[in-house]
Chain A
Amino acid sequence: MADRAQPLGLAGWTGIAATVAIPALIALTATAVVLSAEGGRGLSAADWAAIRFTLWQALLSAMISVGLAIPVARALARRQFLGREALITLLGAPFLLPVIVAVFGLLAIFGRSGLLNNGLVAIGAQPISIFGLHGVVLAHVFLNLPLATRLLLQGWQTIPAERFRLAASLDMRAGAMFRHLEVPMLVRAAPPAALIIFAICTTSFAVALTLGGGPRATTVELAIFQALRFDFDLTRAAMLSVVQLAITGSLALIALKLARAPDFGKGFDRPAKRWDVDDAPRRILDGMFIAAAALFLIAPMAAVFVRGATNLAGLPDVVWTSAGRSLLVAALSTTLVVSAGLFTSIAAARLRSGAVWIESAGLLAIAASPLVVGTGLFIIVFPFVEPARLALPVTALVNAVVTLPFVLRALIPAVRDAEASFGPLADSLDLKSLARLRLLILPRIRRPLGFSAGLAAALSMGDLGVIALFADPATATLPLQLYRLMGAYRMDDAAGASLLLLSLSFALFWACDWGGRRGA
């Protein structure tokens, strides 16, 4: 085609640079780790077992999360009820939880002394154990079902209301509508959602081991931890990390290629009223799906809330200081990741065929071992600057890199839509660089921009990531302080700190998301 290619422009090139920077950072840190190795052994049989377990639990977690998200997102998409928006926002919260908080929340419901087992015992049934592969998957589904639901819900919203009207005028029933409208959308939306969850679960460490019930549940990240901390076998740590990256990277390419199915054309943003689903059985079924998801996702958070509420007021001052520091880190990394994500999305929208590569590069950041990246950064930085002085910037940087894929997932389609709909008009008006950004891109992507900024901010609040190597007493973030409380028997204070962390993460997410939706 002789279609005029849009020039990349400064924004585009910045985006390309950000895209290249991620694999470069991962490669550089892994190389730094290998180069400081003092010789070590290769991968053992136990390491391969860890790789197999890691992939298996990640696959199960991703499949089940997305599988369950389909009916939930469908029910949320086709039902209107009071508090629907608030419920959707609240259902997103588990994804923002630091894993250790999530684990204890889940235990309060599904644990030996949890509500569920108390109930089972009360009616004379056998109590169930949360520990084992099913516990790991349960926790991962709890953490990631919100993300899957949200991504699929966005998929449903891409089907224009006009399409549902057309289907209704053709007298399509729910089944036909599912086949003709919803399945094609799911073919496009589900694989990337599953992939992103798969990538998240591959670096699982504390959840997998704690709930896994024993060393069978060893993940690659634990093997890396062991190699780094106990064996000081840097080569092996880097090799494990590379194997993990290679697997996730190739899956990313496949899934994102698969994901390019036909699109539905443009609609006029009318709310999608549905005519196929107003019969009572379907209403009840949808209601049950929504209620079940809400119960599953909200009950553990409520447990965290109840457990922490009484301890919030008595928290040591230092916890509040850490909370302030975490907010600073979150602000920094959100600014970083939103700018990088914006420019990268602009580059992706202009380089139509390169978009898959750009997104895959971003995804690698999720699958990269935080331990290896952290250690590599430490090795690189140490000769020049005292690492403790870099604690905050490094944490912010790494958080930004890790959250970039989520931001890209939300922004790339939005920027692409904005350019597809209004690019020619902007071109003919000679809107360039900053003016184009302010007049075309930013106003058109407010919603996903607010959503992804909120997501990035909340995830940065909760992420312990690499800070351990860089931390010094004066710069502990809230999650690190939470671990310190737990490490000193102070479980009540830890419960209070968990609630503080949960509330701050959620408040940040809500504020950004709301800011994006307001007036958009």
Chain B
Amino acid sequence: MRYPILAAGLLAVTPASAQDLPVLTVYTYDSFVADWGPGPAIETAFEATCECDLQFIAAGDGAALLGRVRLEGARSDADIVLGLDTNLLAAANDTGLFAPHGLETPALDLPVDWSDATFLPYDWGYFAFVHNAGMENIPTDFRGLGASDTTIVIQDPRSSTPGLGLLMWVKAAYGDEAPGIWEALADNVVTVTPGWSEAYGLFLEGEADMVLSYTTSPAYHLIAEEDTGKTAAAFAEGHYLQVEVAGKLASSDQPELATAFLDFMLTDAFQSVIPTTNWMYPAVMPEGGLPEGFETLIQPDQALLLSPVAAAEARDEALDEWLTALSR
């Protein structure tokens, strides 16, 4: 067949990789590899120590990442998958594609205990509703939000990780009372977007009073734009955590390099990049501490997080409750 010729023609489109160094392939989400994301700095830092070629492959968001790995199965070129969150971990474990990291977990600066043999966290953040600083009658919990006429934009839990995070937040805080909370929130929800970007964009355009995002979101406006006008609302029932993790694939052809990368991931060189590129909290506090501006962020009293198994079990029911309440 002509297949090889055709393929060879198409290959010419992309530049070939340069040296004969071993290649470590890391699958991650889109915004991680962007020029303004953590990817470029981390690539430089790791390549300075590893005598290897670190290649990021971007695949949409966290859920797309897992889907991609499942599509590729054991034939995958990936050595590391970086960017799953706890809501996806049960499904990720079930694939059997990941290998134990084999590292002794260092002391992590996470609001919760972490002991997972397969996945290591690299950053985390609290979900929160972000609003303009001047807003009056800021709700202090979900009940208050539901009773108010404050408008919110949220993400669809069927297509976005923050959307799913909100579902778990309400579930973790209210358990069986979650349907009632959603019914009360239904008239506050202006619209539901497919992803975080659209929702945050709508909020910035003034379409709603608040948007589901992270407690760290105001830090971006403060540090990158010197704009003090955005704040996150502190909720009394606590804030749900998003913990972002990386894991090593069992099929990796560079297992030592992969382990070295996971080890590197929790060092200063990696962690110090996170706050002002990924706008999340680092999993291990860098020696220099957090950048100036992070101290202005709200500090939730209580961190909520369902275990991967509990989150997976709760998902379908929570989704049904959400759909029922918001489809009215």
A/B touching: CB–CB < 8 A: yes
Q: Give me the interface of A with B, judged by CB distance under 8 Å.
A: 36, 46, 100, 103-104, 107-108, 111-113, 129, 131, 205-206, 209-216, 222, 225-226, 228-230, 232, 316, 318, 375, 378-379, 382-386, 388-393, 468-469, 471-476, 480, 483-491, 494
Quote the shortest CB–CB distance from B73 to chain A (angstroms): 9
Check A382 against B72 for contact (C-beta < 8 Å).
yes
Check B198 against A214 for contact (C-beta < 8 Å).
no
Check A226 against B36 for contact (C-beta < 8 Å).
no
Check A389 against B31 for contact (C-beta < 8 Å).
no
Check A214 against B192 for contact (C-beta < 8 Å).
yes
Q: Give the docked Cα–Cα distance between A379 and B72 (Å).
A: 8
User: Which residues of chain B from 294 to 328 have any CB-CB distance to chain A below 8 Å in the complex?
Assistant: 322-323, 326-327
Give the bracket for the number of chain B residues in contact with chain A: 35 or more
Check B33 against A473 for contact (C-beta < 8 Å).
yes
Q: Using A389-B13, A474-B15, A491-B204 as known contacts, say yes or no to A214 and B59 having CB atoms under 8 A apart.
A: no
Q: Which of B158, B197, B200, B204 contacts A230 (CB 8 A)?
A: B158
Check B67 against A386 for contact (C-beta < 8 Å).
no
Check A113 against B206 for contact (C-beta < 8 Å).
yes
Quote the shortest CB–CB distance from B7 to chain A (angstroms): 5
Quote the shortest CB–CB distance from B195 to chain A (angstroms): 8
Q: Is B191 an interface residue (CB 8 A)?
A: yes
Check B13 against A383 for contact (C-beta < 8 Å).
no
Check A226 against B158 for contact (C-beta < 8 Å).
yes
Instruction: Kindly report which residue of chain A lies nearest to residue B157, judged by CB atoms.
Output: A230
Q: Which of B158, B197, B204 contacts A487 (CB 8 A)?
A: B197
Q: Give the docked Cα–Cα distance between A197 and B311 (Å).
A: 41
Q: Contacts of B202 on A, CB cut-off 8 Å?
A: 107, 210
Q: Which of B67, B68, B208, B220 contacts A489 (CB 8 A)?
A: B220
Q: Which of A209, A384, A468, A476 contacts B192 (CB 8 A)?
A: A209
Q: Contacts of A391 on B, CB cut-off 8 Å?
A: 14
Quote the shortest CB–CB distance from B169 to chain A (angstroms): 17
Q: Using A468-B60, A473-B33, A475-B14 as known contacts, say yes or no to A214 and B327 having CB atoms under 8 A apart.
A: yes
Q: Contacts of A494 on B, CB cut-off 8 Å?
A: 201
* Sample (30) of A-B pairs whose CB atoms are under 8 Å apart: A104-B205, A107-B202, A113-B206, A113-B207, A209-B191, A210-B191, A212-B192, A213-B190, A213-B192, A214-B326, A215-B156, A216-B326, A316-B36, A382-B72, A382-B75, A388-B57, A390-B10, A391-B14, A392-B14, A393-B10, A468-B59, A468-B64, A469-B59, A472-B58, A473-B33, A474-B14, A486-B198, A487-B196, A488-B31, A489-B279
Residue of B70, B200, B207 with highest tally of chain A CB at under 10 A: B207
Q: Using A232-B91, A316-B35, A388-B57 as known contacts, say yes or no to A486 and B201 having CB atoms under 8 A apart.
A: yes
Q: Is B263 an interface residue (CB 8 A)?
A: no
Q: Using A108-B205, A494-B201 as known contacts, say yes or no to A469 and B189 having CB atoms under 8 A apart.
A: no
Check A483 against B30 for contact (C-beta < 8 Å).
yes
Q: Contacts of A103 on B, CB cut-off 8 Å?
A: 198
Given A111-B206, A483-B197, 14 extra CB contacts under 8 A: A103-B198, A113-B206, A131-B191, A209-B159, A212-B191, A215-B322, A215-B327, A230-B63, A390-B10, A473-B33, A487-B30, A487-B31, A488-B34, A489-B221
Q: Give the docked Cα–Cα distance between A472 and B58 (Å).
A: 5
Check A206 against B56 for contact (C-beta < 8 Å).
no
Quote the shortest CB–CB distance from A300 to chain B (angstroms): 12
Q: Give the docked Cα–Cα distance between A211 and B191 (Å).
A: 7
Instruction: Kindly report which residue of chain B lies nearest to residue A489, judged by CB atoms.
Output: B220
Check B34 against A484 for contact (C-beta < 8 Å).
yes
Quote the shortest CB–CB distance from B224 to chain A (angstroms): 7
Instruction: Kindly report which residue of chain B lies nearest to residue A112, judged by CB atoms.
Output: B207
Quote the shortest CB–CB distance from B99 to chain A (angstroms): 20
Q: Contacts of A111 on B, CB cut-off 8 Å?
A: 205-207
Check B3 against A384 for contact (C-beta < 8 Å).
yes
Q: Which of B7, B57, B67, B77 contacts A229 (CB 8 A)?
A: B67
User: Which residues of chain B from 265 to 285 have any CB-CB distance to chain A below 8 Å in the complex?
Assistant: 279
Q: Is B118 an interface residue (CB 8 A)?
A: no
Quote the shortest CB–CB distance from A214 to chain B (angstroms): 5
Check B37 against A206 for contact (C-beta < 8 Å).
no
Q: Contacts of A209 on B, CB cut-off 8 Å?
A: 156, 159, 191-194
Q: What is the predominant secondary structure among interface residues of chain A facing chain B?
A: helix
Residue of B71, B206, B279 with highest tally of chain A CB at under 10 A: B71
Q: Which of A104, A113, A210, A215 contacts B326 (CB 8 A)?
A: A215
Quote the shortest CB–CB distance from B37 to chain A (angstroms): 6
Q: Contacts of A472 on B, CB cut-off 8 Å?
A: 56-58
Q: Is B179 an interface residue (CB 8 A)?
A: no
Residue of B35, B186, B204, B322 with highest tally of chain A CB at under 10 A: B35
Q: Using A111-B205, A112-B207, A489-B279 as known contacts, say yes or no to A216 and B14 having CB atoms under 8 A apart.
A: no
Quote the shortest CB–CB distance from B146 to chain A (angstroms): 15
Q: Give the docked Cα–Cα distance between A112 and B7 (Å).
A: 51
Q: Which 4 A-B pairs have the closest CB atoms?
A: A113-B206, A486-B197, A226-B158, A473-B33
Check B189 against A104 for contact (C-beta < 8 Å).
no
Q: Contacts of A46 on B, CB cut-off 8 Å?
A: 323
Check B71 against A229 for contact (C-beta < 8 Å).
no
Check B193 against A232 for contact (C-beta < 8 Å).
no
Q: Contacts of A211 on B, CB cut-off 8 Å?
A: 191
Q: Is B11 an interface residue (CB 8 A)?
A: yes
User: Which residues of chain B from 165 to 198 have any CB-CB distance to chain A below 8 Å in the complex?
Assistant: 186, 189-198
Q: Is B125 an interface residue (CB 8 A)?
A: no
Check A222 against B71 for contact (C-beta < 8 Å).
no
Quote the shortest CB–CB distance from A424 to chain B (angstroms): 40
Q: Give the docked Cα–Cα distance between A382 and B78 (Å).
A: 13
Q: Give the docked Cα–Cα distance between A428 and B63 (Å).
A: 63
Q: Give the docked Cα–Cα distance between A81 and B211 (Å).
A: 47
Q: Give the docked Cα–Cα distance between A206 and B156 (Å).
A: 11
Q: Give the docked Cα–Cα distance between A213 and B30 (Å).
A: 26
Q: Give the docked Cα–Cα distance between A389 and B29 (Å).
A: 18
Residue of A209, A379, A386, A472 with highest tally of chain B CB at under 10 A: A209
Q: Give the docked Cα–Cα distance between A113 and B164 (Å).
A: 28
Quote the shortest CB–CB distance from B220 to chain A (angstroms): 5
Q: Give the docked Cα–Cα distance between A45 and B192 (Å).
A: 20
Q: Give the docked Cα–Cα distance between A311 and B192 (Å).
A: 28
Q: Give the docked Cα–Cα distance between A473 and B33 (Å).
A: 6
Q: Give the docked Cα–Cα distance between A393 and B279 (Å).
A: 34
A-contact bits for B217-231, CB 8 A (1 contact / 0 none): 100110010000000
Q: Is B39 an interface residue (CB 8 A)?
A: yes
Q: Which of A214, A379, A392, A484 contacts B13 (CB 8 A)?
A: A392
Q: Give the docked Cα–Cα distance between A511 and B132 (Å).
A: 44
Q: Give the docked Cα–Cα distance between A486 and B327 (Å).
A: 28
Q: Contacts of B39 on A, CB cut-off 8 Å?
A: 473
Q: Contacts of B208 on A, CB cut-off 8 Å?
A: 112
Check A225 against B194 for contact (C-beta < 8 Å).
yes
Check A232 against B70 for contact (C-beta < 8 Å).
yes
User: Which residues of chain B from 148 to 170 have any CB-CB distance to chain A below 8 Å in the complex?
Assistant: 156, 158-159, 164
Q: Give the docked Cα–Cα distance between A469 and B72 (Å).
A: 11
Instruction: Kindly report which residue of chain A lies nearest to residue B65, judged by CB atoms.
Output: A229
Check B71 against A378 for contact (C-beta < 8 Å).
yes
